[in-house]
Amino acid sequence: MKKIIKVSSGLMVMLAVLVACSSAPNRMSQVNRQHAVVGGGPTAMMRAAARGDLETIHNLIDAGHPINAATSEGSALSRAIDNRQMNVAMYLLSIGAKPDTGIPEGEASPLMKMARDGETHMVRLLLAAGADVDYADRNGDTALAQAARQGNLTTVKALLAAGADVNVSPSGHSLLMHIVSNNDLLLAQVLIAAGADINFRSDDGKSALSLAREKGYGNMEMLLVQSGARL
């Protein structure tokens, strides 16, 4: 029997997942053996994900549509995330959607987008589903860089716990340098404790300490010096 499930909270989302899986016991096995890369525009699954239509997604899966089909516009999971359909994204992950499928070359991954927005719960779900924690876009940005620059401390800690590289250098400056430029003392402390190269120099010869001094950030300069930074 088909069930139309409307969800409006985290608890109801999990209920929707459980009901959907129990109503179609073979859904997981169907999903796990289906993976396709197709051309053209968005698939029916992608369109349903974008508008948050769980019932249509259930029907498509039962009819054999591949959940991980990807086009130049991404995948069902990426479309759900792009349109902030978190209930759909959680459901897709629960039945085997691959987080890194269908990322256009050089573009941000779903993990990066969720890290930027401080969606720590979704970040953890994506990581648990196998998202590449250190995937970088064409600018060298990673999920950690996105989260840190937005000041999303909880998300930063979740990514570091998952093994994110703290010494990424988007746009030629280290992540620590970007955080110093933002004068975010707490995040700077977290990155230093995680092993950030405190004396990294960019191609123009600047370092985290020189930036702090240049901008007149006295407390930041003190933190860096006490942590071993040198000009």
Domain membership flag for residue 111: yes
Q: Which of 164, 195, 214 is a domain's end point?
A: 164
Say what the pLDDT of residue 20 is. 40
Statement to judge: residues 172 and 215 lie in one domain: yes
Query: Which of 51, 86, 102 marks a domain boundary?
Result: 102
Q: Are 82 and 117 in contact (CB under 8 A)?
A: no
Q: pTM score, two decimals?
A: 0.82
Are residue 171 and residue 206 in the same domain, yes or no?
Answer: yes
Tell me the CATH number at 112: 1.25.40.20
CA 151, 155, 156, 157 dihedral sign is positive
Residue 32 lies in a domain: no
Q: What's the gap between Cα 165 and its chain centre? A: 14
Which residue's structure tokens are 């716990």?
161
Residue 211 inside a domain? The answer is yes
Q: Three-class SS of residue 75?
A: strand
User: What is the share, in percent, of the chain residues with pLDDT greater than 90?
Assistant: 78
Shared domain for 81 and 123, answered yes or no, is no
Q: What is the distance between the alpha carbons of residues 212 and 105, in angstroms, rounded to a whole number?
A: 35
Report which of residues 48 and 16 the model is more confident about: 48
- pLDDT tens per residue, range 131-181: 999 999 999 999 999 999 999 999 999 999 999 999 998 888 999 999 999
Q: Do 170 and 155 have their domain in common?
A: no
Closest CA to 125 of 96, 104, 156, 150: 96
Q: Considering the domain boundaries, does residue 146 fall inside one?
A: yes
Q: Residue 155: which domain range?
A: 105-164
pLDDT single digits (tens) 86-143: 999 999 999 999 999 999 989 999 999 999 999 999 999 999 999 999 999 999 999 9
Q: Are residues 91 and 110 in the same domain?
A: no
Residue-by-residue DSSP string for 2-47: -------SHHHHHHHHHHHHHH-TTHHHHHHT---B--SS--HHHH
Residue 14 pLDDT more than 60?
A: no
pLDDT at residue 83 is higher than 70: yes
Task: Give domain status of residue 79, yes or no.
Answer: yes
Q: What is the widest separation between alpha-carbon atoms in the chain? A: 69
Domain count, the chain: 3
- Tell me the C-alpha distance between 154 and 151, whole Å: 9
Final residue before a domain boundary, out of 102, 131, 152: 102
Q: How confident is the model at residue 41 (pLDDT cuts 50, 70, 90)?
A: confident
**pLDDT per position as a tens digit, 187-221:** 999 999 999 999 999 999 999 999 999 999 999 99
